[in-house]
A = this chain, B = another copy of it.
């Protein structure tokens, strides 16, 4: 097999101002990292020399500091989609310097395929190995699926990053499948969490590959705070609620696959489910598998897991690679349009559990913007699951910032998941079951069960002054909580 080995610097030098670069990966995991470490340096040099240098960056989900963080800090991002969790990126987005489309993670490959992002100049793909097969190459992906099948097909040029940090065996975890373009699509034939419908490799046109960058770079996955008393309470509430639904026959006795978002609350929920004696052994159909899933899998409580990324610590990742006989039978990594597919999520009956930043008294959720304007992270895949799941659960602490912010507000300052997509809200105060209830009954549930006691009188007052209608809102007072926080630093000082 003959291929052109190039340095990361040489690769970075080929990318031109104003081009669009698509990357492998989903979360910091599986992202091609080597070329972008050089590209942000190059961007700085170009700017110092007085040359414009900005590129569009499209990936499966968020990336890490070495991609969007350093590129944002270098003022080198023109356009970005679909998601970010990076502080530097957030700062530059909120300064209005980056054109950012906050998009459902399950829609990105679709939108690429439809041509909504224009021409894709470069696809840079992290692989643990590759081989030639006629005029094609087979690339073996590492710890994530993302949008790789689509971008290697539509990009003009492909660069491979052969990252030897990953085991060449990583291919055994992958099920690579891309739906055909409409109107020639067929059903996605996944009927069980770990069904495999694709191949172990991504196929790449040999003519497109301009070079291979060899590197050995560990993953940049974040670690999360340990579960504390508040998150533990929320986790227990979720577990107890599901057990109650099981007993009432609202959930089938076999239980259903679980999706859980990313972060400390999600870990607490998984811990509580994993440790609850009345919850049957279960499977996970989610976008991101974290350490907690692997731990419960080793204990036998979690049977199977399907995801688009193993966003685990490097220690856990190496443990998976070392025990591939076991994990390749119980873990599948998929492209994000399959992990987040409405079709599959609804068919499997996934129990969706995500966190929100704020929730209003009628059940709308804000997952993305602080006080309406400032981007925090973005929606990620939360809406893919919440809209299509069997049960749609949102968790959040009832207050943050030492009680100065109530996450339960009269009206969300930004709406990402609407009242039509939210079944259950859980805070450390309790559980609001919104199913089959109109707005006024939902408000009752949310205020009395989920809001912090400090804020209940204020929320009841709001409802009283809000006037009539199906979903009473006083448009003059709807943001009184936010106004009190912005002007006085404490939502408890809200006045209507």
Interface, chain A (partner B; CB < 8 A): 79, 81, 93-96, 98-104, 107, 110-111, 114-118, 179, 181-183, 185-189, 191, 248-250, 252, 254, 256-257, 342-343, 346-349, 364, 369, 371-375, 379, 383, 387-388, 390, 411, 413-420, 423, 435-438, 440-441, 466-473, 475-476, 478-479, 482-483, 486
- 4 smallest CB-CB distances across A and B, nearest first, come from A182-B349, A373-B469, A342-B342, A372-B473
Which of A111, A191, A342, A371 has the most C-beta atoms of chain B within 10 angstroms of its own C-beta? A342
The verdict on A98 contacting B469 (CB below 8 Å), with A187-B189, A390-B114, A420-B379 known, is no
The CA of A79 and the CA of B437, in the complex, are separated in Å by 8
- Shortest C-beta distance, A261 to chain B (Å), equals 16
Which of A93, A186, A343 has the most C-beta atoms of chain B within 10 angstroms of its own C-beta? A343
Return chain B residues, CB-CB under 8 Å to A483.
475-476
Which of A111, A182, A411, A413 has the most C-beta atoms of chain B within 10 angstroms of its own C-beta? A182
The CA of A419 and the CA of B367, in the complex, are separated in Å by 13
Whether A100 and B343, one on each chain, are in contact in the complex, defined by CB atoms closer than 8 angstroms, is no
The CA of A98 and the CA of B188, in the complex, are separated in Å by 41
The CA of A94 and the CA of B101, in the complex, are separated in Å by 36
Return chain B residues, CB-CB under 8 Å to A116.
250, 423, 435-436
Return chain B residues, CB-CB under 8 Å to A436.
79, 81, 101, 111, 116-118
- Shortest C-beta distance, A488 to chain B (Å), equals 14
The CA of A373 and the CA of B362, in the complex, are separated in Å by 11
The verdict on A420 contacting B104 (CB below 8 Å), with A118-B436, A186-B347, A436-B116 known, is yes
Return chain B residues, CB-CB under 8 Å to A387.
342, 387
The verdict on A348 contacting B182 (CB below 8 Å), with A414-B471, A435-B111, A468-B373 known, is yes
- Shortest C-beta distance, A410 to chain B (Å), equals 11
Nearest CB in chain B to that of A374: its residue: B469
Whether A348 and B183, one on each chain, are in contact in the complex, defined by CB atoms closer than 8 angstroms, is yes
Return chain B residues, CB-CB under 8 Å to A107.
420
The CA of A467 and the CA of B373, in the complex, are separated in Å by 8
- Shortest C-beta distance, A210 to chain B (Å), equals 25
Copy count, this protein chain? 2
Whether A372 and B104, one on each chain, are in contact in the complex, defined by CB atoms closer than 8 angstroms, is no
A sample of 17 cross-chain residue pairs with beta-carbon separation below 8 angstroms, ordered by A number, consists of A93-B470, A96-B472, A107-B420, A110-B346, A115-B249, A115-B250, A117-B436, A182-B252, A183-B254, A183-B257, A183-B348, A185-B346, A342-B342, A373-B468, A374-B470, A475-B486, A476-B483
Return chain B residues, CB-CB under 8 Å to A479.
475-476, 478
Task: Please pick, from B94, B104, B179, the residue contacting A470 in the complex, using a CB distance under 8 A.
Answer: B94
The verdict on A415 contacting B413 (CB below 8 Å), with A470-B94, A471-B372 known, is no
The A interface, classified by DSSP as helix, strand, loop or mixed, is loop
The CA of A483 and the CA of B413, in the complex, are separated in Å by 17
Return chain B residues, CB-CB under 8 Å to A186.
191, 347
Nearest CB in chain B to that of A481: its residue: B475
The CA of A486 and the CA of B256, in the complex, are separated in Å by 48
Return chain B residues, CB-CB under 8 Å to A486.
475
- Shortest C-beta distance, A465 to chain B (Å), equals 12
Return chain B residues, CB-CB under 8 Å to A472.
96, 373
Return chain B residues, CB-CB under 8 Å to A435.
111, 116
The CA of A256 and the CA of B373, in the complex, are separated in Å by 37
Whether B103 and A420, one on each chain, are in contact in the complex, defined by CB atoms closer than 8 angstroms, is yes
Return chain B residues, CB-CB under 8 Å to A252.
181-183
Task: Please pick, from B181, B191, B383, the residue contacting A420 in the complex, using a CB distance under 8 A.
Answer: B383
- Shortest C-beta distance, A77 to chain B (Å), equals 11
The CA of A35 and the CA of B107, in the complex, are separated in Å by 45
The verdict on A364 contacting B475 (CB below 8 Å), with A94-B468, A250-B115, A467-B373 known, is no
Whether A185 and B102, one on each chain, are in contact in the complex, defined by CB atoms closer than 8 angstroms, is no
